[in-house]
A and B are shown apart, each in its own frame.
Chain A
């Protein structure tokens, strides 16, 4: 199959999946018990008012019509109105997305930046004490409740050692945010040369990013270790060795590149951890991203906002998983495009 046809096919499949996702969210909200009319009308509404609200929300129409309306709305970018902010849910989410992206990127950089080298070291020293110690870290990372870990970090670094700033938001209240270019405070302050904002943004970013990064690090270590072991035992490494190349040359020139390709396969798992952990960590650090928004919506029974958040996360998840798959097949020519 040619590359173009492969990409088209993957896109078509992703589109079908997304349609399924939208229908699933619709089912979640309309067929499961839970009464949006009561929420909107309040408990003292007269039947006439309730009927009017029902009509206004389109809930008097048959379910299939409601479904078509819902899909149409989603495609027009109408995810409903947040009762808390009074704004359209989509603009609420768009406004908060950069904060989430900044935290997620920082976590992946930390998780991969520490996890990949540790995985390589574990493989090169496999079955030694170093390997065992690194594997113990992975076991811990897979079992730790992330929100608890975040709280422990806050207690130690903020309360006991006074190193970290208060765990509230992305900047201290007396620091102005940098001029918006990307929406990521660290990048923007770097681009505009706003050193005060950069320092403060980094200080706020470190703890939540480390908490998320620690959990994300585990899959990186695991996959890097096993990929590296596989590569080092392969025939072409044996060939390189028989030509007299040193261990160092083999690791840097041959093994590492092939290991990095395998690491992409863990991308989907890491992404799932990030999107789920993000809600908990943003809540603990009052980080003003979409996860914190979702928590506020949950505690305030803001149903449109919750639906919008779940749908947005699923779309991001499907989209990025598709991107990872495509990148993987582009990078590794051995993958059959099927």
Chain B
């Protein structure tokens, strides 16, 4: 952002402590547009708490669930929240809390798998395209352009519809849909890194091209992709839940947050809100956790 107050470089690198700073500054006129853009205060903390909460749920959730998450109970069909069932039961009498708890591990695992797969594929394709250049670069980038011609969710939807909706296929489909973003980020970093002096130095001492790319350059090309990865964790959860809701994601009766919302969808009109509402809150907390933590990492750790 252009600022009115001369910054350090404009003063020719003079230490900011010099009194010159105050006399030269034209602060009065537009000072409110100068200065750093603060983020929402406490957002990072909320992100950490939300993320920690979801990670703990993912680890202990299936163990602490009070009831069997997929066993129907004909005595407690669509029971409202009570002391026996804190978050109520669904149309088969299954305990909503137990289903949310046991789904946490699946949802988080699926999101992490999607992100890792897209990250690794993107790093190899983008790194290779950027480092090798020429024909390889052209082919990879045209491929990426085609994938980017679909909204990610629609591409994943089309692929799971054709592949069949096993958990493995859902992970692959959503990962493919998000790979292009990683390819682009890693490639553009790689384009500048391959011209760096240390790349030339590594070559001079006799490292192979593959070794230079994988061990010397790729690790340095990753930071922007890692920020993208935290966002992809959030989108992955949203997309998998969305696919499950449409019936092409995780198959019922497996407990998955999108499946749970879908289970309760037809009961919303008749007032049994708890079946859908609580799993949605779990998704919201998880995505908030990933997004806010990602923002914090981008602003505080990876800022260069």
A and B, one complex?
yes
A-side interface residues toward B, CB under 8 Å?
17-18, 20-21, 23-25, 28-29, 32-34, 126-127, 132, 135-136, 139-140, 142-149, 151-152, 154-155, 158-159, 166-167, 229-230, 232-235, 237-238, 241-242, 271-273, 275-276, 279-280, 283-284, 294-295, 298-299, 303, 306-307, 310, 313-314, 317-318
Q: Please report the C-alpha to C-alpha distance between residue A129 and residue B114 in the assembled complex, in whole angstroms.
A: 37
B151 and A275 within 8 A (CB) = yes
Q: Which residue of A28, A34, A238 is within 8 Å of B4 (Cβ)?
A: A238
B283 at the interface (CB under 8 A from A): yes
Residue of A nearest to B289 (CB): A143
A147 and B2 within 8 A (CB) = no
| Given A145-B261, A151-B261, A279-B157: A313 and B241 interface contact (C-beta under 8 Å) | no
Q: How large is the interface on B (under 10, 10 to 19, 20 to 34, 35 or more residues)?
A: 35 or more
B33 and A33 within 8 A (CB) = no
B280 and A229 within 8 A (CB) = no
B2 and A159 within 8 A (CB) = no
B30 at the interface (CB under 8 A from A): yes
B158 and A159 within 8 A (CB) = no
Q: Please report the C-alpha to C-alpha distance between residue A229 and residue B34 in the assembled complex, in whole angstroms.
A: 9
Grouping DSSP codes into helix (H, G, I), strand (E, B) and loop, the A interface class, with mixed when no group exceeds half, is helix
Residue of B nearest to A235 (CB): B2
Residues of chain A lying within 8 A (CB to CB) of residue B268: 151, 154-155, 159
A229 and B37 within 8 A (CB) = yes
B1 and A20 within 8 A (CB) = no
| Given A34-B163, A147-B261: A314 and B150 interface contact (C-beta under 8 Å) | yes
A151 and B163 within 8 A (CB) = no
Q: Please report the C-alpha to C-alpha distance between residue A167 and residue B29 in the assembled complex, in whole angstroms.
A: 54
A280 and B242 within 8 A (CB) = yes
- Map CB proximity to A onto B110-149 as digits: 1 under 8 Å, 0 otherwise: 0000000000000000000000000000000010011101
B269 and A21 within 8 A (CB) = no
Q: List 13 A-B contacts (CB under 8 A).
A: A33-B164, A126-B37, A135-B39, A135-B40, A144-B284, A155-B268, A233-B1, A233-B4, A276-B151, A276-B242, A280-B245, A298-B248, A318-B149
Q: Which residue of B146, B258, B264, B288 is within 8 Å of A21 (Cβ)?
A: B146
Q: Please report the C-alpha to C-alpha distance between residue A146 and residue B242 in the assembled complex, in whole angstroms.
A: 8
B40 and A299 within 8 A (CB) = no
- Map CB proximity to A onto B246-274 as digits: 1 under 8 Å, 0 otherwise: 11100000000010010011001111010
How far apart are B243's CB and chain A's nearest CB, in angstroms?
Answer: 10
For the complex of A and B, the 3 pairs showing the least CB-CB separation, nearest first, are A148-B280, A276-B153, A20-B146
B159 and A229 within 8 A (CB) = no
Residue of B nearest to A166 (CB): B269
Q: Which residue of A17, A132, A242 is within 8 Å of B29 (Cβ)?
A: A242
Residue of B nearest to A143 (CB): B287
Q: Please report the C-alpha to C-alpha distance between residue A276 and residue B174 in the assembled complex, in whole angstroms.
A: 13
B38 and A127 within 8 A (CB) = yes
Residues of chain A lying within 8 A (CB to CB) of residue B159: 28, 32
Q: Which residue of A20, A276, A298 is within 8 Å of B145 (Cβ)?
A: A20
Residues of chain B lying within 8 A (CB to CB) of residue A229: 1, 33, 37
B62 at the interface (CB under 8 A from A): no
A145 and B241 within 8 A (CB) = yes
Residues of chain B lying within 8 A (CB to CB) of residue A21: 146, 149-150
A298 and B246 within 8 A (CB) = yes
B18 at the interface (CB under 8 A from A): no
B192 at the interface (CB under 8 A from A): no
Residues of chain B lying within 8 A (CB to CB) of residue A148: 261, 276-277, 279-280, 283-284
Q: Please report the C-alpha to C-alpha distance between residue A279 and residue B151 in the assembled complex, in whole angstroms.
A: 12
With A155-B277, A237-B33 known, 19 other A-B pairs at CB within 8 A are A17-B145, A21-B150, A23-B146, A24-B147, A24-B149, A25-B158, A33-B163, A126-B37, A139-B43, A146-B242, A148-B261, A151-B264, A233-B1, A275-B154, A284-B265, A298-B157, A298-B246, A313-B151, A314-B154
